[in-house]
Homo-oligomer: A and B are copies of this chain.
Amino acid sequence: MKKIDILKKLRSSRLRPTKQRVEIAKFLFEREKTFHFTVESLNKLLIKKLASKIALATIYNTVHAFKTAGHLSEVEVRGNKTYFDTNVSNHHHFYDSENAELIDIDANDIVIQKIPKAPNGKKIKNVEVFINLKN
């Protein structure tokens, strides 16, 4: 993803392309593969990568702004920290608890044959499959 596209992405979601947002966006979206992270891990990686450091609060703000804008998705993982994913399409996850690592599974690689109907006036919003791994 080019810098110009980063700027477009930010502007299209009514987020001013500040220095910090552009740097974080470049770090997150200029990748081939999807990227999974927690705010803590992202912060550490940004400290390594960037000359000037970005305030932790800004990283929280920015990640949430990106999530709200639909540029990041939040992944439910048992435990204390919140995981985010640059893959915002409908997909699933392997979770390797030994390395606290998420691995994407394409939506087409899982086919569900039978599913219960939603209870009392509710509808199904989405179905997430989470496959825990062991050695």
Taking beta carbons and an 8 Å cutoff, which residues of A are in contact with B?
A: 74-78, 82, 94, 96, 103, 105, 109-116, 118-119, 121-135
Contact = CB atoms under 8 A, between A and B. Distances in A.
A82 to B, nearest CB: 8
Nearest to A103: B119
Nearest to A127: B131
B94 A121 contact: no
B123 A135 contact: yes
26 contacts: A76-B77, A94-B118, A96-B122, A103-B119, A109-B114, A109-B115, A109-B116, A110-B114, A110-B116, A111-B114, A112-B113, A112-B129, A115-B131, A118-B131, A118-B133, A121-B135, A122-B134, A124-B132, A124-B133, A125-B131, A125-B132, A125-B133, A125-B134, A127-B130, A128-B132, A129-B129
